[in-house]
Structure 1
Amino acid sequence: MAGTRERSVSEATVRRLELATGGVAGAGVAEMSARLPWFSRLTADQRAGVLMVTQLGAANFVTWLRDPDATPRLTAEAFRSAPPDLARRMTLRQTVELVRIATEVFEERIPALAGSRSERATLVASVLRFGREVAFAAATVYASAAESRGAWDARLEALVVDAVVRADRDSEGALLSRASALGWDPAARAVVLVGDPPREGDGEGPDPLHGVRRAAYRAGVSVLLGAHGSHLVMIMSLDEARGGGERPEADDGDGGGDGGADGGAEDARDHRLADLTRGESKAALALADAFGPGPVVAGPVVAGLLDAHRSAGRALAGHRAVVAWPGAPRPVSADELLPERVLAGDAAAVEQLVREVARPLREAGGSLVETVESYLEHAGVLEACARSLFVHPNTVRYRLRRVADLTGAQASDARGARLLHMAIALDRLRTSDDEADLGPRR
């Protein structure tokens, strides 16, 4: 094959091609500028880089005519010689457009330099084959770059998630820089989800997290994924979630203090992600389905990436404690797991429970604490509770609605009752300890 080509294209024709490569390359770049609107927006250095690559491609074509076995080396060399700034600026689609135009110019001008009809046919076929090899070389270069960028992005992503989980306040600048390099908006509201990673083979590709990323793409949200021990930590950007709606209204307790347990359970499920809009909640549910088997716990919504450690801390604490609630919804809010977190020894949960539940009841007065305790002692029987307090049942209903407004917990719900009982008990223990620390007065 090589010998046939050398006999078909004379040395005189090859010499003419060598002398014409500069003009052919210049004509190709001129055609690119005329036909591609984005080409004129390149800087002068970038256009010069395109001309250099085109000239090298034309010169390599002449060398290839002498040695067809050099095709892979010469075509790859043409793209390796491109300035780094040009390689970053050009997309694969734009590169294909340039190769197409350059090939068309080569087809038009190079065969005209043939010394005979047979040489012309040989040059036409050679240009088409060389153009095909150049296109494959471009695709290979971009594929290699994409693999390298993917590996680098994965390392950056792991570093960002690790910094968030560790609450590393000393590297906030590096955290923001790495997140920006990944295309993440550090000012976007975020929530952290923790669960088990998908099992191998559950994803749609060799990467077990491919299915998770695909679910995030379908939901229209950005995510950062990382491992924490055997768990998968996901930071979800909320400001991009599609299908957003109004925030759910807070339960005003119109159902009364004597609602059934089924209604309370339904309320807990409806408000498991109460901080999210409807669209955000829908996206979170879709992403929870992409985790592996087992519970998925969501931390609270935070204002930005620098605050995401708070959401991650609560989500991880909730995931450690969620085993104590076999019937927990998926996903479940870390705040819904406050009783279990307290039992697991989470000091932050104790603080939160006292601060957000017990203290508002105590400071509100109006016998709210006594009403809750009496209601729970009488197993939720409204009339018995009213008799023990010497008030009308409607007064008990009113007070329980106030309790729900202040704490978000329904005393008629099994979980709400557990949360209220634990919060009041912890508050009393803390008060008792404080008094003991003061010691007897002299």
Structure 2
Amino acid sequence: MSDEQTSNPAQRIRPFRQAKASPETLKRLKQHLGVLSTVALKHLDQSLPWYRGLRPEERAALGLVAQKGIASFVSWYERPTTSPQWVLNDVFGAAPTELTRSISLQKALQLIRTIVEVVESQVPDIAPEAEHTQLREAVLRYSREVAFAAADVYARAAETRGAWDSRLEALVVDAVMRGESQDSLRSRIAAVGWKSHENILVMIGATPASSQVGFVSELRRAAARYARDSLVGVHGERAILMLGGVEADRAGLDRLATFFGEGPVVYSPLAPTLKEASASAKAAFAAIAAAKAWPLAPRPVDADDLWPERVMNNDSEAREALVSGIYKPLIKAGNGLIETLSSYLSLGHSLEGTARELFVHANTVRYRLKRVCDVTGWDPLVPREAFVLQTALVVGRLDAETTEILSETRQSVPRKSLTTL
């Protein structure tokens, strides 16, 4: 043999050749099947305390696996094979679900070890002395194949469980988006281990181009630093992160936004309870649909900061928010705030021009604009916030109810008094 051939480990390894069992040994093995199964189950009960603590149906399932394993060994010993697939089908095919639900992989391997010890202890009674070594080696090789098959069963069960958990998370997120009844939502959300009932927030962005599985696990792990509970749902090209018991500040949201793909990322208003979570989530969905209209928006951006774009995208909730959150408070505040804001915006944000238009001092204009900020939370001196305020004026004027309120206010307040401040 050449040096090149001897240097290749794969060429030096020879396939295992199982010595053929004698007809007498095979006959005695088949005769001892019942004895081996009985002794194995008795030994399991005596040597494994956790086995005694199982429910009857769980012990029956494991007993079936043990009996199948011993019977399969006899068939394999008669016709040895190098393929481990038969072990998975023959031994664990009867009760893989019951096995993974009843015991852990560590306990399953303890069960296999116990059965192997029982079979080895019976070798002197089954085979002649000349075949003791051969039979013991066969038992050890068979136990190795069974152990690998058990690991495969548990690995597949873990993959299935992980896939099911992801689907269940996506269903819960979808239920929140659709605003399902509280009873149904509580039942679904409890199934995924969700415990928070306050401070709920939803973030939406694009899924990254990288592996979706890795993205979900990384996002969930990062979210644990900023919230007590988190759910991740992937809807096509969009990823949805639902947080409960949020404790994060803006810096935390900025960190979470880095896990999403390219494009805008929005977050919803903070829902005080689970009941309001659906409306909060819908606001985030409406915002992500309109976010492209504001290319310079921060990342992530508050869904409420996109009220103007959402209104232009036919979002009735944003329209109502502008009227109830900005326009109506300005009307009720009086003191010429509506007139001052309208003039200031229409005259190109000029304090002097507004003062001349209203026949007041420029400081009066500054005071009224500061009052607008105090009443609405939006500063007309900031260009983007001035755009939000201007949209609120347009929407409010088109609203029939607010038009009537404004008309009544103007009739009750003399024109002269509007220019006294």
Counterpart of 1:232 in structure 2 is 238
Counterpart of 2:412 in structure 1 is none
| Residues 332/144 of structure 1: CA separation in 2 closer, same or farther (3 Å cut) | same
Distance 1:71 1:432 in 2: 77
Distance 2:36 2:400 in 1: 93
Which among 355, 368, 373 is matched to residue 404 of structure 1? 373
Counterpart of 1:212 in structure 2 is 216
| Residues 175/371 of structure 1: CA separation in 2 closer, same or farther (3 Å cut) | same
Which residue type is aligned with residue 334 of structure 2? Answer: G
| 1:14 maps onto 2:18 in alignment | no
Which among 81, 88, 91 is matched to residue 94 of structure 2? 81
Which among 68, 76, 86 is matched to residue 80 of structure 2? 68
| 1:92 maps onto 2:92 in alignment | no
Whether the 8 Å CA contact 2:330–2:375 is kept in 1: the answer is yes
Whether the 8 Å CA contact 1:21–1:58 is kept in 2: the answer is yes
| Residues 423/11 of structure 1: CA separation in 2 closer, same or farther (3 Å cut) | closer
Matches within 5 A, 1:355-374: 355-373=324-342
**The 10-residue stretch of structure 1 (7-16 or 315-324) with the greater mean CA deviation from structure 2:** 7-16
- What is the TM-score of this pair, normalised by structure 2? 0.75
| Residues 97/390 of structure 1: CA separation in 2 closer, same or farther (3 Å cut) | farther
Distance 1:136 1:62 in 2: 19
Say what the alpha-carbon RMSD is for the aligned residues: 3.7
Per the TM alignment, residue 434 of structure 1 is displaced from its structure 2 partner at its CA by: 4.9
Compare relative contact order (CA 8 Å, sep 6+) and give the higher one, 1 or 2: 1
| 1:301 maps onto 2:301 in alignment | no
Distance 2:345 2:308 in 1: 16
SS at match of 1:290: coil
| Residues 409/39 of structure 1: CA separation in 2 closer, same or farther (3 Å cut) | farther
Per the TM alignment, residue 23 of structure 1 is displaced from its structure 2 partner at its CA by: 0.9
Per the TM alignment, residue 375 of structure 1 is displaced from its structure 2 partner at its CA by: 4.8
Per the TM alignment, residue 301 of structure 1 is displaced from its structure 2 partner at its CA by: 2.5
Whether the 8 Å CA contact 2:61–2:98 is kept in 1: the answer is no
Which among 33, 47, 50 is matched to residue 62 of structure 2? 50
Counterpart of 1:288 in structure 2 is 257
Which residue type is aligned with residue 428 of structure 1? Answer: R
| 1:190 maps onto 2:200 in alignment | yes
Whether the 8 Å CA contact 2:284–2:303 is kept in 1: the answer is yes
Per the TM alignment, residue 337 of structure 1 is displaced from its structure 2 partner at its CA by: 0.4
Matches within 5 A, 1:116-265: 116-168=128-180, 174-185=184-195, 187=197, 189-199=199-209, 202-203=210-211, 208=212, 210-220=214-224, 222-227=230-235, 231-239=237-245, 244=247
Distance 1:366 1:337 in 2: 28
Whether the 8 Å CA contact 1:196–1:292 is kept in 2: the answer is yes
Cα-to-partner distance string for 1:195-222 (whole Å, 9 max, x where unaligned): 33333xx22xxxx354133222233253
- What is the TM-score of this pair, normalised by structure 1? 0.72
Distance 1:117 1:365 in 2: 108
Counterpart of 1:24 in structure 2 is 40
Which among 280, 299, 313 is matched to residue 330 of structure 1? 299
- Give ranges in structure 1 of 5+ residues lacking alignment: 245-276
Cα-to-partner distance string for 1:380-414 (whole Å, 9 max, x where unaligned): 56677678664583x66665454334322122211
